[in-house]
């Protein structure tokens, strides 16, 4: 990871979105909340646009997490997002994201 190695957590400079295809083939536009590191790997936190997704869903506050990787030899190449399938890894990601949220709350108090 290029410049992001310098910061454990990074907020995108501008609002970015990605389109995720769900298991049932639906495409959901998601806002990128942040890209961060947990347990030595990079992850991305996404907030789905539920207008594009299941309108009956009560999961409007869910954040989706994926492993995030970039090609260091070609920064213009699309990043790769992979599912997190291990419970311990997912817990580490949640802990790191909670710490990120805590830093935002602390910054708001200053």
Q: Which of 25-29, 62-66, 75-79 is the least confident region?
A: 75-79
Q: 3-32 pLDDT, tens per residue?
A: 444 445 555 456 789 999 988 999 999 999
Average per-residue pLDDT for the chain: 81
Of 58 and 75, more confident: 75
The more confident residue out of 26 and 108 is 26
pTM: 0.73
Q: What secondary structure, in 3-state letters, does the chain show?
A: CCHHHHCCEECCCCCCEEEEECCCCCEEEEEEEEEEEECCEEEEEEEECCCCCCCCCCCCCCCEEEEEECCCCCCCCCCEEECCCCHHHHHHHHHHHHHHHHHHHHHHHC
Q: Which residue has the higher pLDDT, 107 or 16?
A: 16
């Amino acid at each position: 990871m290029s410049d992001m190695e310098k910061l454990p957590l990074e907020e995108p400079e501008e609002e970015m979105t990605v389109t995720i295809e769900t298991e049932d083939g639906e495409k959901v536009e998601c806002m990128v909340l942040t890209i961060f590191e947990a347990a030595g790997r990079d992850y991305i936190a996404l907030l789905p646009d539920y207008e594009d997704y299941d309108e009956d869903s009560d999961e409007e506050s869910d954040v989706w997490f994926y492993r995030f990787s970039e090609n260091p030899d070609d920064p213009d190449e699309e990043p790769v997002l992979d599912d997190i399938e291990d419970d311990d890894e997912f817990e580490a990601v949640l802990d790191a994201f909670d710490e990120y949220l805590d830093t935002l709350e602390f910054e708001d108090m200053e």
